[in-house]
Structure formats: C-alpha cells, structure tokens
Amino acid sequence: MSTDGKYNINLDVKYQPLEVVDVPDIVANCSEKWFNQTLTQVNDSVARLGILEGEFHWHKHDNDDEFFFVLSGKLLIDLEDRTIELDQHKGVTIPKGMMHRPRAPQKTIVLMVETSEIKPTGS
C-alpha cells in the first residue's frame, strides 16, 4: 500500500510461523526512502520493519501503544513538548493517544511492535 506516493507501507505478513525472518535481505532490496513491511504476526500483535529516511507526518493511534526499536541509524520522534532521540539498540514505547512524528535524518532501520489493529499510515 502506498500513501501519497511518499511512503511504501506493506500490511501483508511476509513471514509465517517457523519461517526465518531475513532483515538484511529486505534492507538490501529496498531503494525507497520510507518503507514499512509487516514481518510476522504474534498473537494479536505484529512486528514491522521500517527502512526510513526523512520524516513521517504528525499522527496518533487512539487505541494502541506503539514500540520503536532502532536496529541501525538514528530515529527522532517528535512529541508535542519534546523530541526523543533513539540511536542504535535504543527503543521507546509511544502510548496510545499521543501525537508523534517519526523522523530519520539518515537511513535508519527500525523494528516496530504494535497490535495488528494499528494502521501504520498514521491514522
């Protein structure tokens, strides 16, 4: 699914149970600035991979928390009153209902864990 041609967001589950998740392969085959792929579903949650460079729009998720964990690069998450800076191997949970805007000043690889109900388009 593409959002305004700016983001490539894939909601299909790429790996089923017992399949090995290959993050380096996904990264190597991605040439887009803002790419999001659902890797796998675990009960009512999903693990998603983000390959990010640039900024997303301001948004919130009314009913669900969202966890970001940086595998490589740097992720900035703007909140209404401050910016959280995440370097490699750092993570944060953004609570439901909180306005936020992820930004990546350089190519950044992020693992996100959230309920399968979250629309990663920022709705």
Per residue in 85-116, pLDDT (tens digit) is 999 999 999 999 999 999 999 999 999 999 98
pLDDT of residue 119: 75
Q: Which domains does the chain have, with CATH numbers?
A: 2-115 (2.60.120.10)
Q: What is the pLDDT of residues 14-65, one digit of tens each?
A: 999 999 999 999 999 999 999 999 999 999 999 999 999 999 999 999 999 9
CA dist list (Å): 51 to 36, 63, 96: 6, 25, 23
Beta-bridge mates of residue 38 = 48
Q: Comparing C-alpha atoms, which of 81, 66, 76 is closest to residue 108?
A: 76
Assessment of whether the complete model's pTM goes beyond 0.95: no
